[in-house]
Chains A and B, each alone.
Chain A
Amino acid sequence: MSETPIPAQKSRLRAALESDLFYTFTRSPVAVVAAFVVLLMLLASVFAPLIAPTNPFDPASLNLMNGFTAPMAANDFTGDVFLLGTDDQGRDVFSTILYGMRISLFVGVSAVLFAMVLGITLGLLSGYLGGWVETIIMRTADVQLTFPSILVAMLIFGIAKGITPVEYRDQMAIWVLILAIGLSDWVQFARVVRGATLVEKNKEYVEAARLIGRGSGAIMLRHILPNVLSPVLVIATISLALAIIAEATLSFLGVGAPPTQPSLGTLIRIGQGFLFSGEWWILLFPATTLLALALSVNLLGDWLRDALNPRLR
């Protein structure tokens, strides 16, 4: 790509900046904007406690008199001004969105990581070992694929909710949500990893590793895994968008994040109640945030798919 001869030793950062992937990235305005939005939202979520003007879940900081203040308008009683207005309890909508996004992203990212680890493990095992291990894993995957993943997630959430004692339900809800979305989403990863493993395991480097006496586990993890990771990366990005939407949907339906730890979906659920009374901002801003987040991650995933695999275009 570059005109200058590549130096023998270069830093990882330089290598990354000179890679084809980075080059195509800088040439795609959509990808750059999407990445910028995602990065901004990630940072805003991580540093939410520092950025948010108020802590919406600290009852001491709330003033009921501030309820239903319109965006950028002074409150009738207190004269306070809020960037995006306040909800019925006087919570600053901007702050609740920051905290909500934090939970949405945390659940989304954790669920995808969980699905990824599970899918990669099962995919490697079934692809490399074959036999009855493969039969059981892939049949299970087939059965699960018969049902829409949101339905699977709902069922797992319902069952997990039944198992946890009543007094822990709200506390556990976030973890149950991660488990439910993760378990509903591992099949994609397992299928792709299995397919790639079937191709890789007959190549010479695997043969060589086996000849020098490396165990199956080491071959799978150290030799095959690094070579099947690039499709996994694409699926992970697209899965993240799906997981964020799934989480929002579940929370919106009231079978997700509890009102004490509202995610964007919970906020939309709350906001829907004020649609008829004219307080549009309680609904509009969380909904727009969710949309921008999901759309950016989706566009980033699309771009990554095209960039890593030109054949798939």
Chain B
Amino acid sequence: MLAYIIRRMAQSALVLLIVGLVAFAMFHFVGDPIDNMLGQERTADDIERLRKQLGLDRPFVVQYFKFLENAVQGNFGMSYRQGRPVIDILLERAPATLELAAVSGILAIVFGIALGVFTAIKRKGFAANAIMSVSLIGVSLPTFLIGILLIYLFSVELGWLPSFGRGNVVDLGGWSTGFLTTSGLKALILPSITLGLYQMTLIMRLVRSEMLEVLRQDYIRFARARGLRDRNVHFRHALKNTMVPVITVIGLQLGSIIAFAIITETVFQWPGVGLLFINAIQFVDIPVMAAYLMLISVMFVGINLIVDILYFFIDPRLRVDRTGGH
């Protein structure tokens, strides 16, 4: 087991090193930041001064090591566009994205599991069939169209909820939260539904198919034969055993939620990291792009690693296969 974990960690480290190389190559080869930062009226002096200031005058290898050293310390340089340290901008934007992602994640998990169990138990019922059909349409709808649809319904037609921004936020020592004000909470509703809907459908369909699988097993029949109540059979016996694949998917989807937040944040002009990234692409702000890439890779690789290791603790059957295989 230990050998497996060590090997997985080495793999993860290698992936991060590769991503780091990509990020650095972006820095080094892509675009001319001087072009982007200085306007038409620039002098040779301006250019030289800025090159020095950004460290673009040093040799490749020196820049690479400097880059790695800085990245580990959370220093990603100055944003070409805003002229401020990237890490400051990221930290300032992170709470918005994390709060949005957390609420969407909870929505997706709670409703996904609940609806999945419901549609599995009441498989033949009208409501279950209706939910399954709607979920099929939900999967085919692009995220941004769902967002626009919700804005149209609840902001334009009904006027109940705001269509953009975070509302009023409260600053808690560097962490700006929208949880403490009414307008902040109202502003969260539409974006979190938009972001969580796809993951919810995914979890729901998975829970449903796993439940159907488990409910066919002998031990469920025995549990019923012993005269246990339906609720006990469904939740204590059946649901528990569907959790392995569900936890895997939930874990992997956590990363996707942060990535797909880019789309939701653009639709709702939510001032988070995703919107920052999109703007960075539009204006070719390489340091911001590179920093976002590094951060999100650390997250994805970390989540993958944790999910893989969690397997051991959740399902003892996997221990033998996994260490032997591959």
Chain A residues in contact with chain B, CB under 8 A?
Answer: 143, 146-148, 150-151, 154-155, 157-159, 161-163, 166, 245, 248-249, 252-255, 268, 272, 275-276, 280, 283, 287, 290-291, 294-295, 298
Contact of A143 among B15, B26, B256, B278 (CB under 8 A): B15
Residues of A within 8 A of B312 (CB): none
A150 touches B145 (CB 8 A): no
A268 near B289: Cβ-Cβ < 8 Å: no
Q: Does B217 sit at the interface, judged by CB under 8 A?
A: no
CA distance in complex: A167, B156 (Å) = 39
Contact B263 A148, beta carbon cutoff 8 Å: no
Which of B87-95, B167-175, B235-243, B292-300 is found at the contact surface with chain A? B292-300
The total of chain B residues at the interface (CB under 8 A) is: 40
Most chain B CB within a 10 A radius of its CB, from A159, A161, A245: A159
For A287, list chain B residues within 8 Å (CB).
145, 148
B301 is an interface residue with CB less than 8 A from chain A? yes
- For this complex, 20 residue pairs linking A to B, each with C-beta atoms less than 8 Å apart, are A146-B297, A146-B300, A148-B255, A148-B259, A154-B278, A159-B26, A161-B281, A161-B284, A249-B143, A252-B263, A253-B262, A254-B266, A255-B278, A255-B281, A272-B148, A272-B267, A275-B151, A275-B152, A275-B156, A298-B140
With both chains docked as a complex, state the minimum distance between the C-beta of B268 and any C-beta of chain A, in angstroms.
11
Cross-chain contact B286 with A291 (CB below 8 angstroms)? no
Complex CA distance for A280 and B149, rounded to whole angstroms: 11
Measured CA separation A86–B263 after assembly (Å): 27
A130 to B262, CA, bound (A): 38
A275 touches B144 (CB 8 A): no
Q: Mark B93-111, 1 if CB is under 8 A from A, else 0.
A: 0000000000000000000
For the complex with contacts A151-B296, A295-B140, 7 further pairs of A-B residues with Cβ separation under 8 Å are A147-B296, A249-B142, A252-B144, A252-B263, A268-B144, A283-B148, A287-B148
Q: Are B142 and A294 in contact (CB under 8 A)?
A: yes
CA distance A254 to B280 in the complex (A): 11
Cross-chain contact A158 with B280 (CB below 8 angstroms):
yes
A248 to B145, alpha carbons, bound, how many Å? 10
* B29 adjacent to chain A (CB < 8 Å): yes
Instruction: Tell me if B18 and A143 are in contact (CB < 8 A).
Output: yes
CB of A276, distance to nearest CB on chain B (Å): 6
The smallest beta-carbon distance between A169 and chain B, in angstroms, is 9
Determine the chain A residues whose CB is within 8 A of the CB of B280 once the complex forms.
158
Q: Whole-angstrom distance between the alpha carbons of A150 and B256 in the complex?
A: 10
User: CA–CA, A123 to B267, complex, Å?
Assistant: 38
The reply to whether the CB of B35 lies closer than 8 angstroms to some CB of chain A is yes
**Interface code B24-53, partner A: CB below 8 Å = 1, 0 otherwise?**
001001110001000000000000000000
Residues of chain B whose beta carbon lies under 8 Å from any beta carbon of chain A = 15, 18, 26, 29-31, 35, 140-145, 148, 151-152, 156, 163, 255-256, 259-260, 262-263, 266-267, 277-278, 280-282, 284, 286, 289, 293, 296-297, 300-301, 304
CA distance A253 to B152 in the complex (A): 18
Instruction: Decide: A162 and B286 in contact? CB cutoff 8 A.
Output: yes
A253 to B267, CA, bound (A): 8
Q: Which residue of A lies closest to B19 (CB)?
A: A143
Q: Residues of A contacting B256 with CB < 8 Å?
A: 148
Q: Are A147 and B144 interface neighbours, CB within 8 A?
A: no
Cα A245 to Cα B145 in complex, Å, equals 10
CB of A166 within 8 A of CB of B151, answer no
Across the interface, do A159 and B30 meet the contact criterion of CB distance under 8 Å?
Answer: yes
Residues of B within 8 A of A255 (CB): 278, 281-282
Chain A residue numbers with a CB within 8 Å of B142 are 245, 248-249, 290, 294
B278 contacts A253, C-beta separation under 8 Å: yes
* Bound CA–CA A150/B142 (angstroms): 12
A163→B284 CA distance, assembly (Å):
10
Tell me the minimal C-beta distance from A140 to chain B in angstroms: 9
Q: Using Cβ atoms and an 8 Å threshold, which residues of chain B touch A283?
A: 148
Q: Which residues of A contact B15 (CB under 8 A)?
A: 143, 146
User: A291 CA to B149 CA in the complex, in Å?
Assistant: 13
Asked whether A166 lies within 8 Å of B152 as measured between CB atoms, the reply is no
Closest 9 CB pairs of A and B: A162-B30, A162-B31, A158-B281, A162-B284, A151-B259, A148-B259, A245-B142, A255-B281, A252-B144
* Minimum distance in angstroms from A270 CB to a CB of chain B: 12
A219 to B289, CA, bound (A): 44
Given contacts A158-B289, A249-B263, whether A163 and B29 have CB atoms under 8 Å apart is yes
CB of B138 to closest CB in A, whole Å: 12
Closest CB in chain B relative to A303 CB, distance in Å: 14
Known: A148-B259, A161-B284, A163-B30. A249 touches B144 (CB 8 A): yes
CA distance A291 to B30 in the complex (A): 36
Q: Closest Cβ of chain A: how far from B274's Cβ, in Å?
A: 10
Docked-complex contact A150 and B289, CB < 8 angstroms? no
With both chains docked as a complex, state the minimum distance between the C-beta of A250 and any C-beta of chain B, in angstroms.
10
Residue of A nearest to B256 (CB): A148
> Could you say which residues of chain A place their CB within 8 Å of the CB of B277?
154
A18 smallest CB distance to B (angstroms): 33
Contact B35 A166 (CB under 8 A): yes
| Cα–Cα distance between A149 and B326 once the two chains are bound (Å) | 25
CA distance A166 to B140 in the complex (A): 36
Residue in B144, B145, B148, B304 whose beta carbon sits within 8 Å of that of A146 in the complex: B304
Interface pair B281/A157, CB less than 8 Å apart: yes
State in angstroms the CA–CA spacing of A155 and B263 once bound together. Answer: 14
> Do A275 and B148 touch across chains, with their CB atoms under 8 A apart?
yes
- What's the least CB distance linking A168 to chain B, in Å? 13
The residue among A154, A268, A280 with the most chain B CB atoms within 10 A of its own CB is: A154
A148 / chain B contacts, CB cutoff of 8 Å: 255-256, 259-260
| Nearest chain B CB to A312 CB, angstrom units | 15
Residues of chain B with a CB closer than 8 A to A245's CB: 142
